[in-house]
Amino acid sequence: MKISALFRGCLCTALFLTISFFSAHALALTAGQTYTVTIEKLTSAGAVTSGSSSLNLSTTATANADGKIAFSIGGIPDNGSCNFLVITIANSADVTERRSIVPCPDTGKTLPLGVSGITDKQTEALLAAFASAGTDDPILAVFGFTIVRSSGMTASDLAVLAGACNQGINASGGFLNYLSNNGVTSAQLAAYRTNIVSRLADPDTGYSKSFKESVDVASSADATLEAAKRGEAAGKLLKVLVQAATSAGFSQDRVLEAFNAMGSVVMPILQAAGTAGTLSSASKQAVDSSIGGGIQKLKADRGIEKYTQALTSLGATGSDVTSFTTAASTLASAMQTAFSIFEKVFTGSEAAAQVSAAQSTLDAAMQSAFSTFMTGTAASNSRLTTMIANIDSALGASTGLTVSNFQFYKSDGTSSNWPIMMVIPTDWVSSIVAASGSVTYTRDTTAIPAAMTWLSGGRTSFSGMPASYATLFQIQEDIMILEFTRFGAQSSAGSDMSLQQALEKSFSTSMAAIAGNISGTTNGSTAIGATAKSALVTLMQSPQF
């Protein structure tokens, strides 16, 4: 079935909704039958307006021969007075055919609106979660949209997911608790929630637009286009939570860390429900896969953003930036395609094994995308030749270095040129040395992991190199030691999300400490700034995708 809608968000503007159902789907609209469309507001206490508080916004429309209805309603509220609206479509017997929760639009903006079997399930779960929490929290809505991906979820499944979602966000040790305990103020959280609603409703790039497009192209004969658009919509959900942090004035990294905090609360609930049989294996697998894949994509998005900022901070320009952004765009597109393919598994009758198989396909596609990214960011031979020339010029002598000195071996045994992310810091050091400056560093003292067998004799001094270049390699080696330490600890922590959360925070703190241990001057007198130090550490880290 498909539903397409145009929704204008001014207080005195009408809502125009066009709905069409494919007859091959259950609960399709019947040609010639009259339907009632009602619009209510979700209150700040998590209840749907009714009775004396009703918006009294409703109209009737008759489905034409193609199963479409068209109508208009005036007086639709914008997000200055509410976060979400509840759309209900009922038949002549007052039986609800479909419902959807949609974000209230910004003043003067249109809101694309799609309603389907999935939005019906999402609405059921979200209304229960909102009522339980006593709130209309947009954070809760995003997680609800994310975890309810199939129209085949049962009432028991939805009840478990509603409770788990509420607890994961609001319980002690959960999402909000973590943010509050790590420097995010009440004012910032308020701004965060407001921005989330605006991003969900954005008529050009928002979740609502992509979901509307998914139901517009839905076909009983070919699910490919629908899945692609649904995957596009799903891929935007958790990203909304991360990007909204910047507008609210706090680090996106805090949100990524808070996902682990939420997981430490939610995972035991879902595990217990699976054991008790109140959550089906297919629904549990769907949640695990949707959240896991979504967070993996978010980490890649965030990593690319950090790399981009760091490259600019250290003076990357021209073809270097172009090479990186091209590889990053290809990665983002490939990940989005992977999500679109994954979404095809949700037919409403999918089994756990099918979702698991789709997850394996998603994982393989993500790994392939990452490998392509690494190839795309590798510096060309001519770029490495330029880097060597910059080193020689800075030192005032020929070093005899060749391209082969700046290659590494990948896990498959093949060699690759240094990535742009390493070339730019090297050029940055060359520019400092050329200007009579220097880079110094106090070594970290973290124990070397046993897996780093090539360092069994201890940290490398790189004493044969010019001082500032040796410093660069010392920083890289210390970061590598911390990364290997983190990898080992993550493996040991397994699915313990509390430990995973602590590891993420510890690693972030360690990277800040590494940056703090860097000193020196850019020209013999001007101290290297904090932004450059942080950028250097960022570019020295391996991609955490």
What is d(CA 282, CA 150) in angstroms, rounded to the nearest whole number? 10
Instruction: State the pTM of this model.
Output: 0.79
Alpha helix (H) residue ranges in 65-137: 117-133
The top-scoring range by mean pLDDT among 81-95, 197-211, 341-355, 404-418 is: 81-95
∠ CA 75-81-86, nearest 5°, is 65
What is d(CA 428, CA 519) in angstroms, rounded to the nearest whole number? 14
Q: Kindly state the greatest CA–CA separation across the chain.
A: 89
Confidence at residue 224, expressed as pLDDT on a 0 to 100 scale: 65
With contact defined as beta carbons under 8 Å apart, do 426 and 387 qualify?
Answer: yes
What is d(CA 368, CA 11) in angstroms, rounded to the nearest whole number? 48
Mean pLDDT of the chain: 86
DSSP-assigned beta bridge partners for residue 110: 8
Domain residue ranges in the chain: 2-279, 383-397+418-540
DSSP 448: P
Instruction: State the pLDDT confidence band at 21, using cuts at 50, 70 and 90.
Output: very low
With contact defined as beta carbons under 8 Å apart, do 198 and 140 qualify?
Answer: no
CB atoms within 10 A of CB 98: 22
Confidence at residue 340, expressed as pLDDT on a 0 to 100 scale: 80
Reply yes or no on whether the pLDDT at 406 is more than 90.
yes
Give how far Cα 488 sits from Cα of 449, 452, 454, Å: 8, 11, 17
- pLDDT, tens only, 291-324: 888 888 888 888 898 999 999 999 999 999 999 9
Residues 6+ apart with CB under 8 A from 275: none
Give burial (CB, 10 Å; 0-12/13-18/19+) of 317: exposed
- pLDDT, tens only, 153-200: 899 999 999 999 999 999 999 999 999 999 999 999 999 999 999 998
Query: Strand, coil or helix: what is 134?
Result: coil
